[in-house]
């Protein structure tokens, strides 16, 4: 029986790999509805999307758009939204920080890769420092980004760190807590299996071949 979740998206990691990491680590199955450029160019699907963009996510007959709303929905379904209202708000704050960081990455990849890459990498410690500091303040950096349990933000941040480790392989060299965090999360059995799967390994990070 197919799982109740379906991800409709272009054949890239992009804005969906964080939700895939979450689903894999939570032992969930999902269906990939791969939208090729050819299908998208026809325009009918775009017209049916609330904001004219993918990803589109289905939980049974509940249809959602906006990748961060999808992550939050899955967090509510699977107990990944903190232990109380205050922790949920802190998670929202950190996820907004992850989104700001992701938007800078997306702009580099799609708008300014050749001319902007060197300056982006130079400025990267300034972005990463905030997350290293957050980790340091939470149990000395031995656990998760907020609270004592894994949350949707950990999957979102982990994915963004993965793509930065491809862009700039040494970027965590001066951030020991973030480096340990990535290693620890990557070693969770279901995440490890997902990262080693062909589905993940063969999926390009971005739609224009830049990484």
Q: Does 147 interact with ligand GTS (rule: CB under 6 A)?
A: no
Q: How many residues does the chain have?
A: 211
CB of 50 to ligand GTS, least distance (A): 10
Is residue 148 a contact partner of residue 139, using CB atoms and an 8 Å limit?
A: yes
Of residues 58 and 66, the one with the C-beta less far from ligand GTS: 66
Contacting ligand GTS within 159-198 (CB under 6 A) = none
Q: Report the run of H or E that residue 131 belongs to, with start and end.
A: helix 113-137
Binding mask 11-50 vs ligand GTS (x if CB under 6 A, - otherwise)? ---xx------------------------------x----
Nearest residue to ligand GTS, scored by beta-carbon proximity: 53
Asked if 207 is part of the footprint of ligand GTS (rule: CB under 6 A), the reply reads: yes
> How many Cβ atoms sit within 10 Å of the Cβ of residue 51?
8
Print the SS3 string covering 176-206.
HHHHHHHHHHHCCHHHHHHHHCHHHHCCCCC
Q: Enumerate binding residues for ligand GTS (CB under 6 A).
A: 10, 14-15, 46, 52-55, 66-68, 207
């Amino acid at each position: 029986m197919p799982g109740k979740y379906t991800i409709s998206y272009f054949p890239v990691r992009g804005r969906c790999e964080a939700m895939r990491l979450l689903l894999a680590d939570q032992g969930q199955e999902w269906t990939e509805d791969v939208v090729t450029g050819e299908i998208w160019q026809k325009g009918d699907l775009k017209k049916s999307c609330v904001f004219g963009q993918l990803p589109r996510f289905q939980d049974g007959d509940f249809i959602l758009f906006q990748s961060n709303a999808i992550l939050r929905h899955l967090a509510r379904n699977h107990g990944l939204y903190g232990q109380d209202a205050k922790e949920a708000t802190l998670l929202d704050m950190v996820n907004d920080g992850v989104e700001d960081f992701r938007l800078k990455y997306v702009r580099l990849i799609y708008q300014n890769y050749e001319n902007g890459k060197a300056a982006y990498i130079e400025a990267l410690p300034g972005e990463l420092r905030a997350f290293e500091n957050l980790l340091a303040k939470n149990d000395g950096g031995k656990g998760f980004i907020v609270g004592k349990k894994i949350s949707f933000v950990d999957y979102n941040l982990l994915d963004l760190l993965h793509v930065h480790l491809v862009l700039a392989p040494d970027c965590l060299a001066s951030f020991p807590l973030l480096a340990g965090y990535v290693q620890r999360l990557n070693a969770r059995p279901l995440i490890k299996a997902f990262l080693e799967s062909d589905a993940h390994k063969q999926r390009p990070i971005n739609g224009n071949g830049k990484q």
